[in-house]
A and B are shown apart, each in its own frame.
Chain A
Amino acid sequence: MTNKNKDTLWMSGNEAIALGAYEAGVKVASGYPGTPSTEIMENLSCYEGVYTEWAPNEKVGLEVAIGASFAGSRALATMKHVGLNVAADPLFTASYTGINGGLVLVCADDPEMHSSQNEQDNRNYAFAAKMPMLEPSEPMEAKEMLKTAFDLSEDLDTPVILRITTRIAHVKGVVKKGERIAATDGEISKNPSKLVMLPGMARKRRVYVEERMNRCQNLAETAAFNRIEKGDTKRGFITSGVSYLYVKEAFPDAAVLKLGMCWPLPEKKIREFAGMVDELYVVEELDPFMEIHIKAMGIDCRGKDCVPNQGELNTAIVRNSIDADSKLELFEEVPLPMRPPNMCAGCPHRGIFFNLSRMKVFVSGDIGCYTLGFLPPLSAMDSCVCMGASVSIAHGIAKAVGEGAHDKVVSVIGDSTFIHSGITGLINSVYNDSASTLIILDNRITAMTGQQQNPASGYNMKGEAASQLDLEALCRAVGVKHVYKVNPHDVPETRKVMKEAVEQNEMSVVISEAPCVLLPEMKERKPVSYFTNQENCVGCMSCIRLGCPAISWTTFAEGEAEERGYRKKQKGISKIDEILCNDCGQCASLCKFNAITRKEEK
């Protein structure tokens, strides 16, 4: 880095939040990976003096942070927006207990669903759980706000949520280093009337929650993070988070009330601002969260009647939705073949989905790289709702269909997702006598979010050896009698086992064991690849139907087949790109014509 000042850094929002947590003296941090939140914990784990871990799910992660806070240390939990649904149970009651050491939850929303199954607006959680929520606009502010969040948490005896979105988490900007407060070691201190939420105590704390939120609202009236930026008062804008940046570019001269705290809202300040401007606009992504609460104050404003409530905003959307005649004339898109994401060459999931695509079963899917099994040419996923749902949805389908359903429903889940929330579904399936089949895709890592360790991988977050969950023993322990293990790269052999498992009239589990090709140890292997003996290729397309990015098809021109010595009717030939090939051999296991062979050295 050649910046003049070594304290000036170029960081993503997630890197900046990790630095903020370090500077704030966080002692314990726990979370579950989820785009766009993952890099916060990954970066925080690189700092000395902070304990960091991957929890099996977001509920556990938040509970770990609550425990550390109860012991008097500053604690952080991180998750993506849908992860907060999983963690909502401890969240709502931690609002009542309050904290001992500062407790902050960072939740990363994903408007536009770049890498998510929904675009829920988690600001609603702050309202529902009655706790303050801060919302930064850019990386530097995210770092400073995280520190503010810890101060607020301790001043008001409350957990605080810092809400970011994809365009803060994965945006890089200039960030300045700050001073670090040393982390406080926790100690055992008992305070059961505050921490044991039996109804009698909870009712008392409920009264406190109300007092606290009133105090918080008063503080919001004067806090520096809620600021009026003077300007042209013909139109005034109330905005927060990344939307503030779009407003500043779309209407650079306008008066703006930037709310750094989106809950509770500073009613007096909002009234003051509303009184300053002729026309008041609320510009926010997703739900009309601030708009509804501002309208409930009896303040007239415009918002979602013009600004979209779906997807991300940007400067052009904000400008055009308010000034319809400001639209630029743009070049139109040219129709091009799509380039959707795809499983990697050599991905072990491909063999399983290839087999599933040839079985007459309903495939109940789950969240991970393998959700891409939905895409053609595999097209082998029929539902996908949320983490862990595959198992229980399959059970529900089997129960609804009733007699004869045992060979018609298969659920598919990754190792990390199974541990996250699939285990309870499996227990239910066994307990309530399901006859569906579960396939656990054990690739030794949490892959989609970029290779995070998990309880089955044998390593902890720092890459140190850790206790390794035995998936087969676990399945047997919960009562599954039919547990199979397969090597998914041997496609026909795996097919036989899958068929046997599906035909069982009791719950069965197939564990597909092969490491993710993106694991460092897989990347470091001596390069070996498969190649096509094109003279043997009969153009059957068996290998092409795998949809592997390393295999391509060339259609013959008129008469070309005969010219090149192939059968007259042969339509073309396939070819393996030896540079892209990752040596899995699935195509070779399918080829019946000896047209694919393995060779050393690329």
Chain B
Amino acid sequence: MEGSGNILFSGVGGQGILLASEITAYSLLAAGHDAKKSEVHGMAQRGGSVTAQLRYGKKVYSPLIEPGQADIQVAFEMMEAVRYLPYLHKGSKVIVNTQKILPPAVATGQAEYPADVLDNLIKREIVVVPVDAFDLAREVGEVRTANVVMVGAMSPFLPVNPEVYEDIIRARVPAKFRDANLRAFEAGRRVSE
């Protein structure tokens, strides 16, 4: 299989980053790529910044993305799209959920949420794809599918046919939420296509 790349998922604990990165990994594997994914469990999961790193290609050795080598970032929160800037390069694509989750210092009035935070990416010639994932998830009738909306919005940037993602969603999401997740994937995909 041709092609290789590095995908960085970032957000806040509890946003469904794990499922999003799993669907992406399974889709890459099904399309014939080798892949490795790295996560950190434990203390970091308690409401803090969370990342998952996914690498794919013909043969993947290291599970960690090198700084400056993330081709795609899927950010579930605006500030978390900018926190990992040293991992990005000119031309990296950042799919970002235009949601704000206030960190403790902001919520308690000690600091301000930075204004126009995404400009930090745009002015460095990083391609930003903003997605109102919650709004789209609400439109498909299940607000908990925002993470799959994000997978959909990222999907055109990977060498995987949309049918492969849909098969994976069918196979891996509980029956109750399957249709909503498929609709969420399509809604997300339309944002980037």
Describe B's contact surface by its main secondary structure. mixed
Option from B63, B67, B89, B107 in Cβ contact (under 8 Å) with A171: B63
Option from A315, A333, A341 in Cβ contact (under 8 Å) with B64: A315
Asked if A431 is an interface residue, CB under 8 A from chain B, the answer is no
Cα-based distance from A202 to B86 in the complex (angstroms): 56
* Residue on A nearest B65 in the bound complex, by CB: A314
Contacts of A314 in B (CB 8 A): 62, 64, 66
Cα-based distance from A491 to B68 in the complex (angstroms): 48
* Residue on B nearest A546 in the bound complex, by CB: B108
Expressed in whole angstroms, the minimum distance between the Cβ of B29 and any Cβ of chain A is 6
Q: Are A333 and B42 in contact (CB under 8 A)?
A: no
* Residue on A nearest B124 in the bound complex, by CB: A331
Option from B38, B41, B103 in Cβ contact (under 8 Å) with A337: B103
Describe A's contact surface by its main secondary structure. loop
Option from B25, B37, B107 in Cβ contact (under 8 Å) with A551: B107
Please encode chain A, from 325 to 361, with 1 for each CB lying within 8 Å of some chain B CB and 0 for all others.
0001111111011111111100000000000000000
Cα-based distance from A371 to B124 in the complex (angstroms): 39
Expressed in whole angstroms, the minimum distance between the Cβ of A47 and any Cβ of chain B is 21
* Residue on B nearest A331 in the bound complex, by CB: B85
Contacts of B172 in A (CB 8 A): 1
Contacts of B63 in A (CB 8 A): 138, 167, 171, 173, 242, 245
Please encode chain B, from 28 to 62, with 1 for each CB lying within 8 Å of some chain A CB and 0 for all others.
01100011111111111111110000000000111
Given contacts A2-B26, A333-B85, contact A344 B46 (CB under 8 A): yes
Expressed in whole angstroms, the minimum distance between the Cβ of B43 and any Cβ of chain A is 5
Expressed in whole angstroms, the minimum distance between the Cβ of A220 and any Cβ of chain B is 24
Asked if A125 is an interface residue, CB under 8 A from chain B, the answer is no
Please encode chain A, from 362 to 403, with 1 for each CB lying within 8 Å of some chain B CB and 0 for all others.
000000010110001100000000000000000000000000
Option from B30, B64, B106 in Cβ contact (under 8 Å) with A3: B30
Which stretch, B109-117, B148-156, B175-183, touches the partner chain A? B109-117
Cα-based distance from A489 to B68 in the complex (angstroms): 46
Q: Are B85 and A171 in contact (CB under 8 A)?
A: no
Asked if A552 is an interface residue, CB under 8 A from chain B, the answer is yes
Expressed in whole angstroms, the minimum distance between the Cβ of B144 and any Cβ of chain A is 11
Expressed in whole angstroms, the minimum distance between the Cβ of A384 and any Cβ of chain B is 12
Cα-based distance from A71 to B60 in the complex (angstroms): 42
Cα-based distance from A334 to B120 in the complex (angstroms): 8
Contacts of A308 in B (CB 8 A): none
Asked if A534 is an interface residue, CB under 8 A from chain B, the answer is no
Q: Are A10 and B47 in contact (CB under 8 A)?
A: no
Contacts of B29 in A (CB 8 A): 3, 10, 174
Please encode chain A, from 1 to 42, with 1 for each CB lying within 8 Å of some chain B CB and 0 for all others.
111000000100000000000000000000000011011000
